[in-house]
Amino acid sequence: MKLVHKDFHFVFHFKENTRSLLVIEQPRIFLRLVSELTASDCEEESGFVLSENDEVLKKKDKLACIVNPLAISLNERKLLSKLGELLKKEILSTELLVEGNRIISDLESYVINIVQGMEWGLVYSDKMDIQSLLKLAEIRFDDMHESLVEKILDYMKVSCELLDVKCFVFVHLLSYLTEYEVEKFYEYVHYQKICVLLVENRQPDMVKKYSETIIIDKDSCEIHLDV
């Protein structure tokens, strides 16, 4: 996996067990690059290129940029939509389908009894199916976590498994986590072989722990830091 930018020389290779860090001290460049990372709807205007084995990947599908980790949710629309598809597929391919059809039939009979018991002319949807049943149940992920780092790791796990996200970019993540939580974060990332890039606007105290570090200083000079 490799991430580059057409206007800069840096190349992040995301090799196994590496820690990749991009420090952008120049405010205008920081704003520009973070905006490009988050603007998934304007991919052709972004200078970033994500590739794997020399094949260019669609950034909007394979890269997730998290600017505010406090705002992430396992129950965002894309994840819930994919979860619904998988649940429906599971039901249709197992004995759960028979039970589901019985429940739908009972529900339709229940609705008919309600409508017929009223003195007004009422209509109802007669297109109940497994999808309707799942929507009625409002199945979603348990989004309660004891710590922020656990929520982040769960979000990454679900995003990888359901959406096939290949690379995560976190902006100012080090401002939210303790040193212990950072180590826990990387322990999981390395075990799962997930590609991660941290973007900061200043060098962190623990910069020596990052084996792949690029600094764009206040004079817009690009520095490759050897650790």
pLDDT tens digits, one per residue of 30-72: 999 999 999 865 556 689 999 999 899 998 899 999 999 999 9
pLDDT band at 178 (very low <50, low <70, confident <90, very high): very high
- The pLDDT value given to residue 32: 96
CA distances from residue 12 to 5, 60, 71, 172 in whole angstroms, order as listed: 10, 18, 26, 18
- The pLDDT value given to residue 128: 84
Indicate whether 17 and 35 sit together in one domain: yes
Please state the domain count of the chain: 2
Indicate whether 84 and 195 sit together in one domain: no
Cβ proximity of 197 and 170 under 8 Å: yes
Indicate whether 69 and 150 sit together in one domain: yes
Q: pLDDT by residue (tens digit) across 78-88? A: 999 999 999 99
The strands making up 55-57's β-sheet, listed across from edge to edge, are 11-12, 2-5, 48-52, 55-57
- The pLDDT value given to residue 40: 65
Indicate whether 162 and 69 sit together in one domain: yes
Q: pLDDT by residue (tens digit) across 88-124? A: 999 999 999 999 999 989 989 999 999 998 888 888 8
- The pLDDT value given to residue 42: 56
Indicate whether 90 and 195 sit together in one domain: no
Domain span holding position 117: 77-137
DSSP one-letter code for 69: G
Cβ proximity of 199 and 183 under 8 Å: no
- Given a cut of 60, is residue 139 above it in pLDDT? yes
Indicate whether 147 and 221 sit together in one domain: yes
- The pLDDT value given to residue 119: 85
Average pLDDT over residues 181-199: 95
Cβ proximity of 154 and 186 under 8 Å: no
- The pLDDT value given to residue 211: 86
pTM listed for this prediction: 0.88
Indicate whether 129 and 195 sit together in one domain: no
Indicate whether 104 and 14 sit together in one domain: no
Q: Long-range contacts for 172-179 (Cβ within 8 Å, ≥24 apart)?
A: 172/67, 172/199, 172/200, 172/201, 173/66, 173/69, 173/198, 174/198, 174/200, 174/204, 174/206, 176/69, 176/70, 176/148, 177/148, 177/149, 179/206
- The pLDDT value given to residue 44: 62
Q: What is the CATH number of the domain that holds 10?
A: 3.40.50.11940
Average pLDDT over residues 182-186: 96
Cα separation, 203 vs 206, whole angstroms: 8
CA distances from residue 147 to 73, 101, 212 in whole angstroms, order as listed: 13, 40, 28
pLDDT band at 10 (very low <50, low <70, confident <90, very high): very high
Cα separation, 211 vs 220, whole angstroms: 22
Q: What percent of the chain has pLDDT over 90?
A: 74
Element (H, E) at 198: strand 195-200
Cα separation, 186 vs 192, whole angstroms: 10
